[in-house]
Amino acid sequence: MTDLDLDCRGKRCPLPVIELAKRIGDVPVGGIIRVIADDPAAATDIPAWCRMREHEYAGPGEPEATAPSYLVRRIR
């Protein structure tokens, strides 16, 4: 179960990461955001953002019919 789903389909780099950065504070510490993004760059950009911002990349989420998803756990 996720605390927030961000639908970033159709948004190209760096917009999915920008949306994630804007919304990470909307979930409690320990909460999970699922980012749905069809931009292939998201597969590397989201884990890299997590490392830089000290959040946990929790791995791939359940894919949508048209796009993969990525799970991010808020650490701080």
Q: Distance between CA 26 and CA 49 in Å, rounded?
A: 17
Q: How many CA atoms lie within 13 A of 61 on its CB side?
A: 27
Which pLDDT score is estimated for 1? 84
pTM (2 decimals)? Answer: 0.95
Task: Assign residue 16 the CATH number of its domain.
Answer: 3.30.110.40
Domain that holds residue 58: 4-74
Per-residue pLDDT of the chain (76 residues; tens, 9 = 90+): 899 999 999 999 999 999 999 999 999 999 999 999 999 999 999 999 999 999 999 999 999 999 999 999 999 9
- The residues assigned a catalytic role are 13
Q: Distance between CA 37 and CA 19 in Å, rounded?
A: 11
Number of structural domains in the chain: 1
Which residues share a beta bridge with 36? 7, 69
41 neighbors 11 (Cβ within 8 angstroms): no
Percent of the chain residues past pLDDT 90, beyond the cut: 99
